[in-house]
Structure 1
Amino acid sequence: MRLKMVLVATMTSLMSGCVSTHYIDEHYVANIKTPPTWQYQHTEGSVQNDWLNQISNPQVHALVTRALDNNLLLRKQSIEVESARQRLIISGSALWPTLTLAMDSSRRKSATEQYSSAHDLSLKVGYELDLWGKLSDSERQANLEVMSSIENYRQQRHDLVAGVIINWFAVIEGKTQQLLLDRRLQVVKQNLDIIESGYKQGLNSALDVYLARTELNNEQAKLAQQASTVGSRIRSLERLIGTYPKGALAVSAALPLLESTVPVGIPSELISRKPALISSWYDLLARDAALAYAHKQRFPSINLSANYGSGGNKLEDAFSLSNMGWSLLSSISAPLFNAGNLAAKEALAKTELKAKELEYLNTLQDAFAQVENKISEETSLKQRYQETLVAQKNAQLAEQLSFEQYQKGLVSYTTVLDAQKRAFDAQSSLISIKNELIKNRVELHLALGGDFQQTQPEEVSNDIG
């Protein structure tokens, strides 16, 4: 009677010890404190889930389709999802009985020179009772890893689409800069012709000729460098779409000016919308399940086994129905001494869970910061564009006036070169800011976690909302 009471008390203690093995509950995310709205001035409203449709250029959609089909890193992530699913099947199989058909044959020789044979054919069944939920926790961990892998795949799709668009506009920006440099080179050539003509007439000095020739050589070098930059950007785009980077992709479109704004939602919605954050959350839950499994490894295991078959001294006895027999066994095993192995594994699982929790919270803060930065950067870029636009107009007037005054002998050629450089820099800056606005807008969509939902557009435009 006393032994029975001890066993009951022991089982009750073990069961209670298995109840509170999960440290991350379903209310964890809801308890994360987030601000009610973004801190920087922004446009209110729900986040767009079809932002790619706002770029109506057919080439963009064709390139996105090719990238989603052919990009090697995305295909690798797809394989990793399948690998996670196979690990789930492996882990889940432990919850099911095993069925094995075995055929054993042996022949022995005794010390008295007697020979004997044995032949057995049996069907064996094995099953481990998941009394503490240990096997269920292992399957739960594997299932969460599958879900995390799927969300990671979704995030890589978003990153890839954003990368294709950013690189496509970068090529357009590079070609626009190349055309500007070419026009600048033609102006410098005209200036050199005028100055050399004036030098032959005794109107200009040799110094002016040398300065004009130096400027011509500098512009030719810049044009060659820009051509190399465009080729490099085209090859980067070709790599993203999964083709050989030979720099032959033809891109022809205008660089638009973004003047619109996009709704950015509220911070709390970002946690359940952005695939990268969802993947990180599943990783955290998987670590929590791993801790529960490590904890329950320290409790007894109960196994059942059954055997049904026949055997005898002759081979035909193994297939004889008259020799059929069965056996049913049960076993219980509990760890008594393992030099702290299981305790250390549980402690390790706890530290890994804590590290994963801090990593998840840090990922959240990074995601919030990224959105805040992109919102503020867009405002700053739009202000920079307007100021640079005014500077460009003034620089063009100064360039024209300085050359006229130089021809009248009122200013030196150095003044002309300085005015021309300022005008060129202002025009180049306007092109760069346009591209930066587009890049920032795409990265804002990416930071907000909205889906691109690719569809074929009807109208042709380069605006992205």
Structure 2
Amino acid sequence: MVRNTLCSAVCAVLLAACQTQQALQPPEVAMASQYADDQSTEHKLLRWQDYLNDAALEKIIHQALQNNHDLQIASLRIAEAQAAYGIQRSTSFPTIGADAGGQRSRVPADLSYTGQVMHVDQYQAGIGLSQWELDLWGRIRSLNEAALQSFFASQWNQVAVRNSIILQVTQTYLTLSELEKRIHFAERSVQNYQNSVRIFKRRYEVGSGSKVEYVQAETLLRNGQALLAQLNQAKATTANFLVQLVGEPIEVPVPSLDRVVFKTTSIQTGLPSDLLLNRPDIRAVEAKLQAENANIYAARAAFFPRIALTGSYGTASADLDGLFKSGSAAWSFAPSISIPIFTAGRLKNQVKLAEVRTDIAVAEYEKTVQKAFREVSDALAQRRWLSEQLHIQQQGLDALNERARLAELRYDNGAVNYLEVLDAQRSLLQAEQQWIETQSALLKSYVQLYVALGGDSQQYQTQQSSSL
């Protein structure tokens, strides 16, 4: 009976020792097989330097990638996770140390077995290991895997922050370009309004014009000046934000919106499933999911007995000069086993906590995948409809320019009052501002699509991994 029980216990130990952690397969997320506004099946992206065609913008992005504080923090998070993994991994190996010491003690006569005062000397030197846990159940291996996956997650998070910096710098640069162009058109309109005010003021003073026309012209001038002040304020705050993104004082350029070009025809969106490999934020949450799954195995292994080894080997002698003589060898070996019997539910709740955190990581993974699909779909829709909107606005802008020209001719010939001219000029200014905003939004959609598809994260991550 005892033999059968012992055999059963040994078999249970061997089976538990053979258990290996299984990687958790990420859940399948329901999404369309193709994008509604792009039917391509091939995935192709360029390096961000090759995607741009603006030397000033490329220089600013380079500076931001070197000095941006958010990116520096993300890089330090990698070093932090790498150190944490190194600490955790060290628990797989025994901790071996060396020690040497000496002791002299006096034993009083009434405690001495000889009945006389005794002086005892003891010297020792040796090496030893302390509490080296034998990882029979995979607890330490699971904790190592969790720390390693956390390190991978920090790497992908850094790539995601890098993409975000590229996106923010480019969009801020485009906003400056947009504001510069809007200011140019607004200044031209204000100059025309000033000429009109000067003319109608003179006509009113000499009695050849009405005060109504003069007030209408002045009202249009004040509205144009107010718009110009708003645009200059927005330009100043946008320039300040660009300096913050770069991370150091820079000479803010005066970019031309018409000269900013992206190589949009050189990228191919591919299938939605390609996002699982190319989006750094998806790769980061996937690594976090694997880390939480490893913690479940570690929590389950805590129910099994923990076996640790402690031992030492060295030399000892009552005389210092006899420390290394023959026969002075000394050693000790003390294996220990600890079995959890009553933990008031702590171990059970540790498993439950790890399982709940894994479920949270699964939900975060699904949310991130769906968000990535939506961002690509939004960028594709913006690219399509903003292009069409820009074409329509261009046609409308041509018509409003012609209307303003004809209104001035009719006014000069006395066919209409000046109110029609003012209305045509006001409509023209509004249309010009909206046309420039749409032009900027279209360019921004090109950058949003590039980053939404993952940017050059795969190439950058490959370079980073090869340098570790």
Contact 1:60–1:168 under 8 Å retained in 2? yes
- 1:253 and 2:256 are equivalent in the alignment: yes
Indicate yes or no: 2:96 matched with 1:99: yes
Counterpart contact for 1:21–1:291, Cα < 8 Å: no
* Structure 2, unaligned runs of 5 or more: 111-116, 461-468
- 2:79 is the alignment partner of 1:79: no
- 1:244 shift after superposition: 3.1
- For residues 97-149 of structure 1, the C-alpha deviation after alignment (integer angstroms, 9 at most, x for no partner) is 11012234556566748665544333112432111111111111111111111
Q: In the aligned structure 2, how far is the partner of 1:229 from the partner of 1:18?
A: 66
| Contact residue 367 and residue 447 of structure 1 kept, 8 A | yes
1:462 equivalent in structure 2: none
Q: CA separation in 2, counterparts of 1:193 and 1:438?
A: 39
Q: Is residue 428 of structure 2 the alignment partner of residue 428 of structure 1? A: no
Q: Return closer, same or farther for 1:22/1:308 CA change in 2, 3 Å cut-off.
A: closer
Question: Which residue of 61, 64, 68 maps to 1:67?
Answer: 64
Residue 329 of structure 1: how far off its partner (Å): 2.3
2:127 aligned with 1:123: yes
Return closer, same or farther for 1:57/1:150 CA change in 2, 3 Å cut-off: same
**Conserved 8 A contact 1:306-1:329:** yes
1:281 corresponding residue in structure 2: 286
Report if the CA contact (8 A) 1:258-1:434 is conserved: no
1:310–1:317 contact (8 Å) kept in structure 2: no
Q: Give the TM-score of the pair, scaled to structure 2.
A: 0.88
Tell me by how many angstroms 1:309 deviates.
2.1
Where 2:340 maps in the other structure, the secondary structure is coil
- From 86, 90, 94, the counterpart of 2:87: 90
Instruction: Decide whether the 8 Å contact of 1:310 with 1:321 is kept in 2.
Output: no
Q: Please report how far the alpha carbon of residue 364 of structure 1 lies from its aligned counterpart in structure 2 after TM superposition.
A: 0.6
User: Conserved in 2, the CA contact under 8 Å of 1:47 and 1:450?
Assistant: no
Q: CA RMSD in A?
A: 2.7
Give 1:389's aligned amino acid. Answer: Q
* 391, 394, 399: which one aligns with 1:386: 391
Indicate the residue corresponding to 1:174 in structure 2.
179
The residue identity in structure 2 corresponding to 1:422 is S
Please state whether the residue corresponding to 1:353 is helix, strand or coil. helix
Q: What is the one-letter code of the residue matched to 1:83?
A: E
**Number of equivalences:** 449
Q: Which one is further off, 82-91 or 60-69?
A: 60-69
Give 2:36's match in structure 1, choosing from 18, 36, 39: 39
User: Please, which moves more after superposition, 57-66 or 143-152?
Assistant: 57-66
Distance 1:436 1:329 in 2: 72
Deviation at 1:439, TM superposition (A): 0.8
Counterparts of 1:86 and 1:165, CA distance in 2: 34
Distance in 2 between the 1:158 and 1:130 partners?
A: 41
* d(CA) in 1 for partners of 2:362, 2:19: 18
Please list, as runs of the form range in 1=range in 2, the aligned pairs for 1:102-251 lying within 5 A after superposition.
102-106=99-103, 112=110, 116=120, 118-126=122-130, 127-244=132-249, 248-251=251-254
CA contact (8 A) 1:389 1:426 kept: no
Q: Deviations over 1:411-444 (max 9, x none)?
A: 3433332211111111111111111011111011
Match of 1:461? Answer: none
Counterpart amino acid of residue 232 in structure 1? T
Q: Which is bigger in relative contact order (C-alpha 8 A, separation at least 6)?
A: 1
For normalisation by structure 1, the TM-score amounts to 0.88
Contact 2:51 2:264 in 1 (8 A): no
CA contact (8 A) 2:186 2:224 kept: yes
In structure 1, C-alpha distance between the alignment counterparts of 2:7 and 2:139, rounded to whole Å? 20
Query: In the alignment, which residue of structure 2 is the partner of 1:460?
Result: none
